[in-house]
Amino acid sequence: MIHVINPATEQRIASYDLHTPAQVGQMLEKASKAQRSWALKPIEERAELLLAIAAVLRRNRAAYARLITREMGKPITEAEAEIEKSAVTCEFYAKTAPVFLADISVASNARDSRVVFDPLGVVLAIMPWNYPFWQFIRFAAPALAVGNGAVLKHANNVPGCALALEQAFKEAGAPDGLVAALLIEASDVAGVLADKRIAAVTLTGSTAVGKLVAAQAGRLMKKQVLELGGSDPFIVLADADVPAAAKAAVKARFSNTGQSCISSKRFIIDASVADQFVEAFCDAVKALKAGDPEDRGTDIGPMARENLRDDIHAQVRKSIQQGARLLLGGKPVAGPGYFYEPTVLDHVGPDMTAATEETFGPVAAIIRAADTEEAIRIANATEFGLGAALWTSDLAAAETLARRIEAGAVFVNGMVASDARLPFGGIKQSGYGRELGEFGIREFTNIKTLWIGPAR
């Protein structure tokens, strides 16, 4: 049995029975059969389904957003934006999939030689709770356009979102079973991944879980895409527009209550402008409104689970003990709900907990760098490599510096964000493979060489 706790009230709001092994087997069999038929459909027909899904998402936006907010605590306006972003992504792939998946002719000694993109089969999607609709849609839209099927194992604090996604695809007209949500325990995932009807796996989650999934998938010789943890640097150089950088930094850190892999977490500021940045940053943080996530004026909601709040508080306390200076926040909010005060730590050393570990919550770590070279060195001194932001007025130098930053994406004079048009993913302990864009749609394809000689 899965019990759902509203993180804003700590009240149980729903309970769900787990699927039995027999039910899981039946769902995998239906998904396999549906996928084989789906793969034979013209790509134009598959694209039409994505447009229908976008329409369903928008039609049910208010209900879906409320479900997200009540299950994991995201402020309601951000939940609504998540649904819209999911719809836009479906429309993007409906338009571009025929282009991205078109055969590529290659000159050779054959009469005709080309590269074609075939589906792999049914993909297991292991998804997190922090963006419960978007994380799945950004995988599923391109995967279905290719001709794959999708079986979703969602985080067990958002089972209602998982079932709503399954129903949304049914409402849009997807073949029965092509998209299925499994309500199972984490301990049951290995058995699903090992099932012969699963061709590949995608995971968005922690690095520790990613290593477990990668090891099993590797033994099974099954394709995998892993989007894991991050400790993204937000670098502000001496010549940056400091007020603009500080304003963007607050959104980059505190959106979704700081519970995002690509939230900026380490703010590496040139010492010559650090005081100016810190003052502007703290003023903006003080203006954030924390409270009921269903209130449209709320900026900061609760953390998704009590243990996550306990973890972030332990990281804050340890960093302070190591010498970091607490400027704002620093403790749980009294009363019901898993709320944590928006927190700013200054004079964080590169070896302190707030700099070396992923802080998954509303905590900003400010690190002062002597100069540009030290800023880049500190930015790269992490096991993670997901995204990075770089702020400078020298755009020519920015391009050179960006290439030195070890990350899957570098945003100059902007906050890191995912965009359906651009590939998304990390390096080092942040994972491998790409989602989104032209590269993402090809991850779960058989990139096949087709060589045709002369007729005999």
DSSP result, 318-354: HHHHTTPEEEE--SBPSSSS--B--EEEES--TTSHH
Per the annotation, the verdict on 227 as an active-site residue is yes
3-state secondary structure 89-127: HHHHHHHHHHHHCCCEECCCCCCEEEEEEEECCEEEEEE
Among candidate residues 340, 285, 364, the one with its CA nearest the CA of residue 73: 340
The pLDDT assigned to 454 comes to: 86
Q: Which of 80, 90, 166, 261 is catalytic?
A: 261
The pLDDT assigned to 110 comes to: 86
Q: How far lies 382's CA from each of 28, 210, 231, 402, 407, in Å?
A: 39, 17, 8, 16, 10
Strand (E) positions, 120-231? 122-127, 149-154, 179-182, 198-204, 223-227
Per DSSP, the three-state class of 200 is strand
**What distance in Å separates the CA atoms of residue 159 and residue 328, rounded to the nearest whole number?**
35
Residues 6+ apart with CB under 8 A from 202: 123, 124, 125, 126, 139, 224, 225, 226, 227, 433, 435, 443, 444
**445-452 β-sheet, strand order:** 104-105, 112-119, 445-452
**What distance in Å separates the CA atoms of residue 70 and residue 6, rounded to the nearest whole number?**
5
Residues 6+ apart with CB under 8 A from 453: 110, 111
Per the annotation, the verdict on 261 as an active-site residue is yes
Tens digits of per-residue pLDDT, 4-48? Answer: 999 999 999 999 999 999 999 999 999 999 999 999 999 999 999
Runs of H (alpha helix) within 221-333: 242-254, 271-286, 306-321
Looking at the DSSP bridge assignments, the partners of residue 452 are: 112
The pLDDT assigned to 455 comes to: 77
pTM value is: 0.96
Q: Which parts of the chain have pLDDT scores under 50?
A: none
Among candidate residues 124, 309, 324, 298, the one with its CA nearest the CA of residue 226: 124
Runs of H (alpha helix) within 347-449: 353-356, 372-380, 395-404, 437-441
Q: Which of 71, 78, 82, 227 is catalytic?
A: 227
Among candidate residues 13, 145, 103, the one with its CA nearest the CA of residue 67: 13
Structure tokens at 284: 């903006």
Structure tokens at 388: 């990075």
| Angle formed by the axes of helices 61-72 and 159-172, nearest 10° | 160
Q: How far lies 313's CA from each of 266, 304, 347, 429, in Å?
A: 17, 14, 18, 23
The pLDDT assigned to 372 comes to: 98
Biggest CA–CA distance in the chain, Å, is 81
Q: How far lies 84's CA from each of 54, 65, 72, 97, 263, in Å?
A: 8, 10, 18, 20, 20
Handedness of CA 195, 196, 197, 199 (dihedral sign): positive
**325-328 β-sheet, strand order:** 325-328, 343-346, 363-369, 264-270, 232-236, 387-391, 409-412
Domains of the chain, first to last: 2-228+429-452 (3.40.605.10), 232-419 (3.40.309.10)
Q: Supply the DSSP symbol for 456.
A: -
Q: Supply the DSSP symbol for 441.
A: H
Among candidate residues 402, 400, 440, the one with its CA nearest the CA of residue 420: 440
